[in-house]
Amino acid sequence: MKNIAVIGSGTMGNGIAHTFAQFGYQVSLIDVSDNALSKALATISKNLDRQVTKGTLSESEKETTLANITIFTDLQTGVAGAELIVEAASENLELKLKIFKDLDHFAGPGAILASNTSSISITRIASVTSRGDKVIGMHFMNPVPVMKLVEVIRGYATSDETTAMVMDLSLKLDKTPVEVNDYPGFVANRILMPMINEAIYSLYEGVAGVEEIDTVMKLGMAHPMGPLQLADFIGLDVCLAILRVLQEGFGNPKYAPCPLLVNMVAAGKRGVKSGEGFYNYAKGVKEAVVAAKFATN
C-alpha cells in the first residue's frame, strides 16, 4: 500500500495524515473547504516542528513529510487511486453514512474503507456499502503522531484479509494495533468515557473541585492528564456523543451523561477547541474555571 486518502482535516484527520506522510505514504487530505485544509497543513507543520526541535525528525524529513500530502476539496478526485481511505469526519452517524455511500461509488473496487470513529458501529457504517468485507474501524488516539495505539475494529462482515492488512499497516506506522469487536464504544471508550463521566459527576455533586479531581487521578493513578482535562482535550461534545452511543447501544442507565456535561455542551463549552471547558484556555495556559456554577451544589 502506498496511496492513502484521509477524509476530514480536523484534529484527528490532520494527525492521521501527518503520521502516514511521515512514514512515506502518499496522502490525499480531503475536506470541504480550502480554509480548513490550510489550517490543517499549518497544524501539521507546527507539530512536525516539535519533532524537529526534539531531534526525532530532521528538517529535510519534515519537508518530505509535507510534500507527501496533497489537499483536495472534491471527494471523488481525492480518493481516486487510494488503496486505503480513512474517514475522520465529525462523530455524526448520518454524515458518516453519506460519506461511506459516496466512497463505495468513488473508491476503487479493491480499496479498504476505514473509519476513525470513536464509537459508531462499523457494522452499521458498512451496511450502506456493497463491500462490508472491506470496511473496518481504524481508531487512532489523539495526539495521533504521539499515541501508540490503533484500536482496529472488526465489523460483523469485515474479512480476515482486511483485518490483517490494517493490523500490518498500523505496525508500519510504528503503532501497536489491537483487534477488537464491534460493540458500543469498542474497548477504549467503553472504559474511558464512564471514567470521565464519573469525574464530572464528582464535580457536579461537589465532592471536589476541577483541579483536585484531576490531581487525584494524575498523581494517584499516574495518568498523564486528569479526566477533566482529558475531556477538554477530547472535546466535551465528543464525550457527550460517545456517552449517548453507549447509553443507547446498551440500554443501560449507567452510561447516562452527567447533566453538567449536557449543560456545558449546550452552553457552547466544548473544551480546548472552544476556548473553555472545565478549564479556560484563553490566555494560552489552562486555568480551572468555576464549572461548579453550572452544577447543583
C-alpha cell at 261: 456535561
Three-state SS for 127? coil
Question: Which one from 189, 197, 202, 276 is the annotated catalytic residue?
Answer: 189
Q: Give the three-state DSSP class for 132.
A: helix
- Separation between Cα atoms, residue 37 and residue 184, nearest integer Å: 31
Question: For residue 123, which of 156, 163, 98, 151 has the smallest C-alpha distance?
Answer: 156
| Contact assessment for residue 8 and residue 33, using Cβ atoms and an 8 Å cutoff | no
Q: Are strands 135-140 and 112-115 parallel, antiparallel or unpaired?
A: parallel
Catalytic residue among 115, 116, 118, 170: 118
- Is residue 50 close enough to count as binding ligand CAA by CB under 6 A? yes
C-beta of 44: minimal distance to ligand CAA in Å?
Answer: 9
Among 3, 118, 170, 202, binds ligand CAA (CB under 6 A): 118
Residue of closest CB approach to ligand CAA: 118
Shortest distance (Å) from residue 110 CB to ligand CAA: 28
Q: Is 189 a catalytic residue?
A: yes
The yes or no reply on residue 47 touching ligand CAA (CB under 6 A) is yes
Segment lying near ligand CAA (by CB under 6 A), choices 66-74, 142-150, 168-176, 259-267: 142-150
CA dihedral 208, 214, 217, 223 (to 10 degrees): 170
The only residue of 10, 81, 143, 249 in contact with ligand CAA, by rule CB under 6 A: 143
Nearer to ligand CAA, 79 or 234 (CB): 234
User: Three-state SS string across 197-266, please?
Assistant: HHHHHHHHCCCCCHHHHHHHHHHHHCCCCCHHHHHHHHCHHHHHHHHHHHHHHHCCHHHCCCHHHHHHHH
Q: For residues 146 and 171, which CB has a smaller minimum distance to ligand CAA in the complex?
A: 146
Restricting to residues 214-253, which ones interact with ligand CAA according to CB under 6 A?
A: 224-225, 230, 234
Indicate which single residue of 42, 146, 171, 219 sits in contact with ligand CAA (rule: CB under 6 A): 146
Q: Which of 8, 132, 137, 145 binds ligand CAA (CB under 6 A)?
A: 145
| Interaction between residue 52 and ligand CAA (CB under 6 A) | no
d(CA 185, CA 195): 13
Answer for which of 70, 142, 159, 274 binds ligand CAA (CB under 6 A) is: 142
Dist. CA 251–CA 245, nearest whole Å: 10
Tally DSSP H helices, then E strands, for the chain: 12, 10
64 or 142, CB closer to ligand CAA? Answer: 142
Site for ligand CAA in 164-193 (CB under 6 A): 188-189
Active site residue 33: no
> How many of the chain's residues bind ligand CAA (CB under 6 A)?
18
CB 84 within 8 A of CB 112: yes
Give residues in contact with ligand CAA (CB under 6 A): 47, 50-51, 54, 56, 118, 141-143, 145-147, 188-189, 224-225, 230, 234
Give the catalytic positions in this structure.
Answer: 118, 139, 151, 189
